[in-house]
Amino acid sequence: MFVGLYEYSIDSKGRIFIPSKFRRNNHFIITIGLDKCLYAYPKDRWGKLENKLDELPFNDKSEERAFKRVLLSGATELKPDSQGRILLPYHLRKYAELKNDVIIIGVSSRIEIWSKFIWEKYNKNAKKLFFKHVSSLEI
């Protein structure tokens, strides 16, 4: 399970550091995510996701093809180097607008990689929703 928030910088080659807690699984599949972030899945978890793709209830085959093409064509398998860094391909950095400061968060079964600017903007609104619903958890 992935939890926590970490702040790093992306270097001039497009590499980012993956927190050691997140590197237990040595290989990641990284693809585009929602809200202009990247999703990183451990390779074994990605296999389960691929199985779910075939079970999605698409009524329109052209929508199914489009969905799978966007998700899978943007995906890449990455392994951290000896210093714990991964080299993000240009197309993924461009999609997520990753330039300097990067936020890496654990979200249960996946890791999300955000531009710090986009994360702060998103998180401001997300916290309002959190506080609206947190009382129902009684925590």
Whole domain around residue 71: which residue ranges?
2-137
Q: Where are the alpha helices (DSSP H) in 27-81?
A: 43-53, 61-73
pTM for this predicted structure: 0.90
Could you give the number of structural domains in the chain?
1
What's the CATH number where 82 sits?
Answer: 3.40.1550.20
Q: Look at residue 139 in the predicted model and tell me its pLDDT.
A: 62
If one compares 111 and 130, the residue with the highest pLDDT of the two is 111
The chain-wide mean pLDDT, for the chain, equals: 92
pLDDT exceeds 90 at position 100: yes
Residue with tokens 């997140």: 22
pLDDT exceeds 80 at position 138: no
Beta bridge partners of 59: none
If one compares 17 and 125, the residue with the highest pLDDT of the two is 17
Listed residue (51, 55, 48) closest to 25, CA to CA? 48
Distances from the Cα of 66 to the Cα of 44, 49, 104, angstroms: 24, 17, 28
